[in-house]
Amino acid sequence: DMGSKWLLLTASKDESLRLWNVQSATCIAIFAGHDAHRDAVLTCGWHPLGNRFVSGGMDNSVKIWSLESDEMMNAIKESWRTQPITKRDTATTASRPQSTHKVFKTLYEQTPIFSTSKVHLDYCDCVQFVGDLVLSKSINDVIILWKPIFSDSQLKNNVLINYEGNGKAGVSRIPNEVQPL
């Protein structure tokens, strides 16, 4: 499980989510950018297997993010080799020619494996996986249990395809399809 009890997700007003290794005080990854949330992120929740998470925010969207890429899995493993930098370390590092601390390179992920704004008409302030289903709530107290629709090959390969209304396909994100239950 790669020490998943020490991994923490945070949602932020700056339109991002961050994955932290609490034990090593390391920011493993920042989920933000091109296909990410376009307003404050209000909520996030882990999939029961710990291999992905769901997020919702003030942009009325719900997004699912994967942690299964080789790069992400390697970064999580590497975060265990990183030692936290203490206040004492920062004071003495300037006087030493070479620091004994390895600098951790935080990953940046811009594209979720699923994205939709068709579930809620207002801010989504609560999301949680229920198995492979998503339970989400808007600020209007509308609670919906739904299933994201995407193919196994898209999940396995993180192949993301967006079909625009004009019929053209672009490589950016999975079609915004949901199945209400």
- Say whether pLDDT at 96 is over 70: no
Q: What is the mean pLDDT of the chain?
A: 82
Whole-structure pTM value: 0.78
Hey, which of 43-52, 74-83, 84-93 has the most confident mean pLDDT? 43-52
Closest CA to 110 of 157, 171, 58: 171
Q: Per 3-state DSSP, what percentage of the chain is helix, strand, and coil (rounded to 5)?
A: 15, 35, 50
The residue whose two tokens read 């969207």 is 61
- Are residues 16 and 38 in contact, defined by beta-carbon separation less than 8 angstroms? no
- What pLDDT was estimated at residue 113? 94
- What pLDDT was estimated at residue 36? 97
- What pLDDT was estimated at residue 166? 38
Q: How many residues does the chain have?
A: 181
Give residue 132's Cα distance to chain centre: 16
- What pLDDT was estimated at residue 5? 86
- What pLDDT was estimated at residue 88? 63
- What pLDDT was estimated at residue 165? 35
Average the pLDDT over 54-83 and give the result: 95
- Quote the tokens at residue 141: 């107290």
